[in-house]
Chains A and B, each alone.
Chain A
């Protein structure tokens, strides 16, 4: 990650209001040059609207958008050095692949031979050389997506926006294209702003992710930061899966859960008696023998073989349900057996102490 003086894109207090509803509510983000940046969240969180505002397809009702320091908030899309890959590709059905890809170049008045050359390059980049005479309706979904990508990249924009481009594809193809996209981004070196609701996808591809909910950024960070240190319940729940528990601080590093058990936590210097919510990832929970000291006793309710791991659903005497992910090499516990679980205190995060300030500048993140 480069630390540049001026970020590629700056969103300052961006707001989009429809009547009384704030689809985007005070979003401030800096995106660096060459970064693969994702906007992640459930439907309706405002990520697509934010993306569209960057592209110029929605006019913000508040806030500013800066591109390399220049205010482009009110510029129409054709005046922004930014290109978009649309969700359903939006390939022009009346033009062949070559003409589709050349469209932007034609509009900018690029000379014919240079256009041809660049179109060839773009198609090669997406591994579709020789497809230039095909019609969009003769292509598969994956191929159409790649044409859409080529059509955008051929213009050498500063920023490429991608609106859930892999949504319409099946899992295997999606995985393949995720790798492809990452490869292309690194090769071309431009900034990607990627919108998705699939957290695995975001984690796999992104340099940084902004997790959004109800128009606001819940947390902004690297995949590891978001996963390991979710700031809010929402982020913890949205990214990966987790076990959420409520309780009160019993003593330093210990919380008494509502269901009665006393569990170790990552101490945050809270006073005794404070209500807390804690998050423990399933894979951080270890299944131990029942005789272990300090372990929580439970019964195996369900066991699922997931291929590389085994997922257990256990229930404590106090009625607490936990999901535990165990490597398959190890003791297998059948349903109904008594088990005990434990985790290291650092794995149990205390959530919801207010949303931390979203890390705005990159130096903060690098820390």
Chain B
């Protein structure tokens, strides 16, 4: 079957599709572009007496201040938490998505709903639940002690471990769904074909399944990494003093420092880094999609 080139869509059709896009564009404009623009304008201002906002002398000073190396450790915190969370979500989410796709059978939808179920409870409540589970006298330590494995509580809460655990748990559904979509679309005959061609199970995964589910992996990574970078609730509640993230700093600059321009500039910088990383990741994604 040769692919015949399609005719360019008619004017009517293009107008109609344009109109269909309108609500989405308006939404994006109002709730994304406008606030972003406002934030940018604020970042060019300065803090006046009594913590007021002065906007009539715009400058990039706040950006220079925001590049202060004192923020590097906390920024690094944010990055390493997000990266760890993303990697864990991929490593845990991929097998789950794979299993549901291949072995879910009639229950596929039900299983996906179960995966999504925690979403329907408040993120905050789930984080509180982790505090109860990981505390020195919480569920885990109580069980360990009851089993005689420990004589004293192990410090699990307020550590890097608890932060990453809480974040991974929270973002796992974000990762599982795009992975599932990508895996489910895979032609089930491809892996047997690879096996037939002398590929071991592992080689088949590496050479066939993995490259073909890469779009899903990239989507899952982006969907996990970006919110994780901005999550300050989880590190705040589940972390200790060393768990301060850049998001928390920005919050403090706004609320305790009452220096909105500074906070806005720092926020913008973080966003630029995030955006840059995303665009970098989208490059290969776009190529993948175009290639298939």
- Tell me if B195 and A76 are in contact (CB < 8 A): yes
- Tell me if A138 and B3 are in contact (CB < 8 A): yes
Q: Which of A55, A56, A84, A107 counts the most chain B CB atoms within 10 A?
A: A107
B192 at interface, CB cutoff 8 A: yes
Task: Give Cα A76 to B212, complex, Å.
Answer: 23
Number of interface residues of A (CB under 8 A): 28
- Tell me if B212 and A108 are in contact (CB < 8 A): no
| Chain A stretch 68-104: residues in CB contact (< 8 A) with chain B | 76-78, 82-84, 86-88, 90, 92-94, 103-104
| Chain A stretch 122-145: residues in CB contact (< 8 A) with chain B | 135, 137-138, 140-141
| Chain A stretch 231-251: residues in CB contact (< 8 A) with chain B | none
Residue in B2, B193, B203, B291 whose CB lies within 8 Å of A84: B193
B196 at interface, CB cutoff 8 A: yes
Residue in B190, B198, B201, B292 whose CB lies within 8 Å of A90: B190
- Tell me if A90 and B211 are in contact (CB < 8 A): no
- Tell me if A92 and B2 are in contact (CB < 8 A): no
Residues of A within 8 A of B193 (CB): 84, 86, 90, 92
Could you give, for residues 2-43 of chain B, a 1 whenever the CB lies within 8 Å of some chain A CB and a 0 otherwise? 110000000000000000000000000000000000000000
Q: In the complex, what residue of chain A is closest to B212 when comparing beta carbons?
A: A94
**B217 shortest CB reach to chain A, Å:** 13
Task: Give Cα A83 to B199, complex, Å.
Answer: 12
B194 at interface, CB cutoff 8 A: yes
A151 at interface, CB cutoff 8 A: yes
- Tell me if B1 and A140 are in contact (CB < 8 A): yes
Q: In the complex, what residue of chain A is closest to B208 when comparing beta carbons?
A: A92
- Tell me if B197 and A151 are in contact (CB < 8 A): yes
Residues of A within 8 A of B273 (CB): none
- Tell me if B189 and A86 are in contact (CB < 8 A): yes
- Tell me if A88 and B189 are in contact (CB < 8 A): yes
- Tell me if A78 and B198 are in contact (CB < 8 A): yes
Contact A104/B208 with A88-B187, A94-B291, A94-B292 known, Cβ cut-off 8 Å? no
B52 at interface, CB cutoff 8 A: no
Contact A103/B187 with A137-B292, A138-B3 known, Cβ cut-off 8 Å? no
B59 at interface, CB cutoff 8 A: no
- Tell me if A77 and B196 are in contact (CB < 8 A): yes
- Tell me if A94 and B1 are in contact (CB < 8 A): no
Residues of B within 8 A of A56 (CB): 195-196
Task: Give Cα A246 to B200, complex, Å.
Answer: 56
- Tell me if B292 and A104 are in contact (CB < 8 A): no
Task: Give Cα A118 to B229, complex, Å.
Answer: 51
Residues of B within 8 A of A76 (CB): 195, 201
Q: In the complex, what residue of chain B is closest to A101 when comparing beta carbons?
A: B197
- Tell me if B3 and A107 are in contact (CB < 8 A): no
Residues of A within 8 A of B197 (CB): 78, 83, 103-104, 107, 151-152, 155
- Tell me if B194 and A57 are in contact (CB < 8 A): no
Residues of A within 8 A of B3 (CB): 137-138
- Tell me if A78 and B189 are in contact (CB < 8 A): no
Could you give, for residues 205-221 of chain B, a 1 whenever the CB lies within 8 Å of some chain A CB and a 0 otherwise? 00110011000000000
Q: In the complex, what residue of chain A is closest to B191 when comparing beta carbons?
A: A90
**B254 shortest CB reach to chain A, Å:** 47
Residues of B within 8 A of A93 (CB): 187, 212, 292
- Tell me if B196 and A55 are in contact (CB < 8 A): yes
Task: Give Cα A108 to B194, complex, Å.
Answer: 12
Q: Can you list 29 A-B contacts with CB-CB less than 8 angstroms, sorted by A residue number?
A: A55-B196, A56-B195, A57-B192, A57-B195, A57-B196, A76-B195, A76-B201, A77-B192, A77-B196, A78-B197, A78-B200, A90-B187, A90-B190, A90-B193, A92-B193, A92-B194, A93-B187, A93-B292, A94-B211, A94-B292, A103-B207, A104-B197, A104-B198, A107-B198, A107-B199, A107-B203, A107-B207, A137-B292, A151-B197
The residues of B with any CB-CB pair to A shorter than 8 Å are 1-3, 187, 189-190, 192-201, 203, 207-208, 211-212, 291-292
User: Which 9 residue pairs across A and B have the least CB separation, nearest first?
Assistant: A104-B197, A90-B193, A90-B189, A107-B198, A77-B195, A78-B198, A107-B199, A77-B196, A84-B196
The residues of A with any CB-CB pair to B shorter than 8 Å are 55-57, 76-78, 82-84, 86-88, 90, 92-94, 103-104, 107-108, 135, 137-138, 140-141, 151-152, 155
For the complex with contacts A78-B203, A104-B198, 16 further pairs of A-B residues with Cβ separation under 8 Å are A55-B196, A57-B196, A76-B201, A78-B200, A82-B196, A84-B196, A87-B189, A88-B189, A90-B190, A90-B193, A94-B212, A94-B292, A103-B207, A107-B197, A140-B2, A152-B196
